[in-house]
Amino acid sequence: MAKIGFIGTGIMGRPMAQNLQKAGHSLFVSTHHDAAPAELLAAGAVALANPKEVAQEAEFIIVMVPDTPQVDAVLFGENGVAYGVGPNKVVIDMSSISPTATKTFAEKIKATGATYLDAPVSGGEVGAKAATLSIMVGGCPNAFERALPLFQAMGKNITRVGGSGDGQTAKVANQIIVALNIQAVAEALLFAAKNGADPAKVREALMGGFASSKILEVHGERMIKGTFDPGFRISLHQKDLNLALQGAKELSINLPNTANAQQVFSTCAAIGGANWDHSALIKGLEHMANFSIRGDK
């Protein structure tokens, strides 16, 4: 069994860390930002003062924090991971961050003698708890094979996409698809309801045809019932679409529908919905239409 450092035990990270413990791995966690979760300590996790100490103790160091600046700070800030790693150690960033920054981070970690994998996930809190996450990995094949048992303790669909940064690129692509599907479902239900049809019955009819999708099934139901507790927060999806649009600018390509979805998310944030589930994108459309499919405002 492996000695694993886990930095970032929030909504996603905590159940992921718990699943590693259930698989029999030893866990070290950092208390540099927050106290270590009691349930991890009760199951045998060791709390250490900072990421450097975690990296010194662990063979694998997993980072699961919200955004690129936080990963940078954990890896290269004062008492960061980079000052505690060396040969035979693997740093695994499972956050969703910039593919461009990831390539730079990978080179800096490699300079310490350690290896680096970017391994963002999809599946949300439900997938994290059930150990059914999709995990998209970038980095060298040997490091991927070494880390595979860890990934298998946390997820089901595990794919090495390519070299450093390619896992993050796959995650950004995933978030583009999810956002545009949410917007498509929201626009369809808004159109149906405004035209006098029962949106619940329309969704039921569409579930049997070519328009059927996981988004229509899960988030379509959320839209109809108005259950917008996260899940996956709008603010986090905005962050991911910013990565997509920033990358598109760097590549000199146009992503018009992604930009449009981001504008609707911005409308949601402007009316107080930054922490709503991303299925609440429909509330941005409803706000612009001055009409609710649920009969509320």
- Catalytic center residues: 171
Contact, 4 vs 60, CB < 8 A?
yes
What are the structure tokens assigned to 67, written together? Answer: 């955004």
Q: Is the dihedral of CA 70, 73, 74, 78 positive or negative?
A: negative
Task: Give me the DSSP letters along 202-267.
Answer: HHHHHTTSTT--HIIIIIHHHHHHT----SSBHHHHHHHHHHHHHHHHHHT---HHHHHHHHHHHH
Judging by DSSP bridges, how do beta strands 133-138 and 121-122 pair with one another?
antiparallel
Rounded Cα distance, 1 and 219, in Å = 38
What are the structure tokens assigned to 256, written together? Answer: 């018009």
Rounded Cα distance, 107 and 183, in Å = 37
Contact, 270 vs 283, CB < 8 A?
no
